[in-house]
Structure 1
């Protein structure tokens, strides 16, 4: 689920007009689909649901252990 929609669900006020559904939600979802197809694993599979919510709403990306290999560190740093 896109960060915009997660924030809306977990706000204290529960205001339904806080964050409109936009193209950003679609782009985030498509990006996560591409990530899942590329790395052939479920995003955030090593995190609890509440941790994923906090992680995503802070603007953080999925952590990928592929970049722990020194040769691949350059790719990660170019983000």
Structure 2
């Protein structure tokens, strides 16, 4: 992920989500270049992690910026996403 992760990326996020789990491999989300994330972006990360858990696949968030870490912590979702 990079740049602004918000509701405008809904269709791209859905396609990425489907593609990530078709490979049946662990998923690593590189968030190091995210400059902004809104509730839709956080919802995407949560959905990705929950589906990963349901499918038995590890989802890891690589190098998230402080904004993402703080948002996940505030929402008490930081334990959901492996880092």
TM-score (structure 1 length as normaliser): 0.30
The structure richer in helix per residue is 1
The structure richer in strand per residue is 2
